[in-house]
Amino acid sequence: MKNMFNYLRIFISYLCLEVLTLTTVFSQELLLPTHHYKYQLTHSICEKIARVRDFERPIPELKMFSTKSKTQVIAQFVALDRTQVIYVDEKLYDICTKFGADSLNALACIIGHELAHYTQNHQFREGFFAGLMPSNSFGVPKNMRKSSKEHKLKLEEEADYYGLLQGYLAGFDTYRLLPKVLSKIYEEYKLNESLDGYPTKIERISSAELTAKEIKELVPVFHAGKYLYLSKNYEDAMVCFEHINNSFTDRDIANNLGVSALAQAISLMNKEDVYFAYPCEFDAAGRLLGSNPRSLTGDTKKDKKQQIKDLLKKAQQNLEQVIKMDKSYASAHINLACKYSLEGNHAFAIGLINDLETKIADNPMSKDGLPANAHLIRGIAFAKNNQLDQAKADFEAANQKEAYMADYNLALYHKLNQSFFEKLLDMSNLSEWVTDFMAENKKDKSKFVSANNVEKINQLTAQQLVKEQFVENTPIQSKERAVHIATSNSAGFDKIKIRLYDKNIYLLVAGLSYKGKTSQGLSIGSDKEKLIAAYGNPSYIKAGSNAEFYFYEKAKMIVEVSEGKIKNWTLYYIEIRN
């Protein structure tokens, strides 16, 4: 009898092992493994888009159904018991590849949409055709409350809007593709045009088209805001960034708004009070040589003082908002430290960078340590706080890491750190020294582009846009200031007209999926080294939050470089009005 029980126990154990093995095999067949190239590519898109808005919360888990599983989930966000999952069908991935060069952009439309359900805190099961997924699958309770058709359409519209914006900010050309992607899904999955509990095909695609149109109107404002900041039209840049920030709270936009306010405040200060070149400025050299942009909103000393105070307050509000969104976002810490140093609160500026340094040290993913401009602003704060030994260490580190105008700031530190005897021998005053240093070093080292190789996008020069028929959108208004932005329809690139109080600015912007090349044979994705070899060193370089802007004044071209590659470029022409 005892032996019989032993045999029975062994048999049951073997049976359980077989069931476990079958279950494992089934789950492997149901889902693509995480090392599969389709999963890896989809996951990388998911990470890029997710980090546009949410930085503290974990990214939802991605699960990709194999076509072998016959599970027709398409794409869906599920939130249950504090667990967030995005389900994607392998067949959907294959459908997106049919868009050719736009395959990643097509996939980003869907991933951005699902992530928007997450970032907008939509509950339970939402997504593309969520009703197709069996209600008792994957832990979803059968008695779960279902959304009404009207409520579901509202959620889909919201997910479209934020998904397209997040996707575009992450570097994907999404807004022009969504309606086509939806049509393709209906076609490939052979879906009925009217699904139970879900908006009809006509309703869904019409809604997507309206949303895409809204985003399309915002995109030129992004480009206009960037150009206006880089061309030192800070107040007008703030109008653009504020307009976008009212529609979509994003860390980069809020940071741009804050840094534009900082740069405008610095431009109003006397250069004798701000001899150092702050890393939040675009062209400190121009300011130090006396070419400040003028302000239209106050002329008296009292007005100017109040303006500076208001601008610093505005900068602080936006930069603190960014840090709440992402506590490890270095650009916001650096810019906020600039604000406190400009106010004379150097100890607080030093503390902010010390705090950032601690956060970076605690992050196992960080390899390069404190950013160059963080060393620079802390060095400035130390110098202004009469902590010259500490300042020296940071200025030297900033110079080694090629921070903003690091050579000038380090030279100025040595000038200020001269002994009393050295200062007696050096009869030049500080203002003359700054002017001489800038005049000697502020030389355009870019290569001259001849008339035969004038820069064009799609066979157009920026100057030719003067004759273009633009349809003006509603002026972007902020208090007493307005910026008029007009666009003209085009494929693969943007034609933009900015009308300011005394001039028209025409922009030609190579789109994210533009296939053309510059006069020197460069295209989107070309290496930064090839840019330098072809065009020489730029007139200026301005570091952004996740990109650098190479300003070539001779070619009238701004090149955006991200992760060592050309992301896009803009040609500009300025028409002065009487």
| Beta strands at 83-89 and 75-80: parallel, antiparallel or unpaired | antiparallel
Confidence of residue 290 (pLDDT cuts 50, 70, 90): low
- Phi/psi of residue 88, nearest 5 degrees: -135, 140
Is residue 34 a contact partner of residue 42, using CB atoms and an 8 Å limit? no
Residue 293: pLDDT above 70? no
- The string of pLDDT tens digits covering residues 204-232 is 889 888 888 888 888 888 889 889 988 88
User: Which residue, among 64, 179, 166, 175, has the nearest Cα to 115 in the 3D structure?
Assistant: 166
Confidence of residue 296 (pLDDT cuts 50, 70, 90): very low
- The string of pLDDT tens digits covering residues 233-283 is 888 999 998 888 887 777 788 888 899 999 899 988 887 778 898 988 877
Residue 17: pLDDT above 50? no
Q: In this structure, which amino acid lies at residue 242?
A: E
Exposure of 49 in the CB half-sphere (CA atoms within 13 A): 32
- Phi/psi of residue 518, nearest 5 degrees: -75, 175
Confidence of residue 146 (pLDDT cuts 50, 70, 90): low
How many residues are recorded in the chain?
578
Enumerate residues 6+ apart whose C-beta is below 8 A from 444.
539, 553, 554
Residues in a beta bridge with 472: 486
Residue 141: per-residue pLDDT: 45
Domain at 231-441: CATH code:
1.25.40.10
Residue 19: pLDDT above 90? no
Residue 429: per-residue pLDDT: 74
What does the pLDDT average to over 18-35?
A: 56
User: Which residue, among 409, 385, 387, has the nearest Cα to 397 in the 3D structure?
Assistant: 409
Q: How far is CA 265 from CA 271, 300, 345, 404, in A?
A: 12, 15, 16, 18
CA 194 to chain centroid, in Å, comes to: 38
Query: Residue 208 belongs to what H/E stretch?
Result: helix 201-230
The Cα–Cα gap between 540 and 527 comes to 18
Q: How far is CA 492 from CA 158, 466, 512, in A?
A: 26, 20, 8
Query: Which of 108-112, 295-299, 312-316 shows the lowest mean pLDDT across its residues?
Result: 295-299
Residue 313: per-residue pLDDT: 94
The Cα–Cα gap between 366 and 369 comes to 6
Long-range contacts from 499-504, C-beta under 8 angstroms, 24+ separation: 499/472, 500/233, 500/236, 501/296, 502/576, 502/577, 503/574, 503/575, 503/576, 503/577, 504/466, 504/574, 504/575, 504/577
User: Which residue, among 213, 208, 246, 252, has the nearest Cα to 229 in the 3D structure?
Assistant: 252
Query: Which of 69-78, 160-169, 462-471 shows the lowest mean pLDDT across its residues?
Result: 69-78
Structure tokens at 281: 């400025």
Name the DSSP letter for residue 166.
Answer: H
Residue 232: per-residue pLDDT: 83
User: Which residue, among 186, 187, 176, 184, has the nearest Cα to 209 in the 3D structure?
Assistant: 176
**Angle in degrees, CA 258, 261, 263, rounded to 5:** 110
Is residue 372 a contact partner of residue 340, using CB atoms and an 8 Å limit? no
Interhelix angle 90-97/37-50, rounded to 10 degrees, is 80
Is residue 138 a contact partner of residue 125, using CB atoms and an 8 Å limit? no
Residue 138: pLDDT above 80? no
Is residue 266 a contact partner of residue 278, using CB atoms and an 8 Å limit? yes
Is residue 516 a contact partner of residue 510, using CB atoms and an 8 Å limit? yes
Residue 364: pLDDT above 80? no
What does the pLDDT average to over 3-20?
A: 38
- The domains of the chain are located at 1-30, 31-218, 231-441, 451-576
- The string of pLDDT tens digits covering residues 105-126 is 999 999 999 888 887 777 655 4
Does this model's pTM top 0.75? My answer is yes
Structure tokens at 161: 């809007």
Residue 175: pLDDT above 90? no
Structure tokens at 534: 């072809």
The Cα–Cα gap between 413 and 396 comes to 10
Confidence of residue 104 (pLDDT cuts 50, 70, 90): very high
The label of the residue with tokens 């991200």 reads 562
The Cα–Cα gap between 207 and 180 comes to 13
User: Is the model more confident about 424 or about 547?
Assistant: 547
Residue 143: per-residue pLDDT: 41
pLDDT exceeding 70 applies to what percent of the chain? 79
| Beta strands at 83-89 and 61-65: parallel, antiparallel or unpaired | parallel
Confidence of residue 304 (pLDDT cuts 50, 70, 90): confident
pLDDT exceeding 90 applies to what percent of the chain? 30
Residues in a beta bridge with 312: none
Enumerate residues 6+ apart whose C-beta is below 8 A from 443.
none
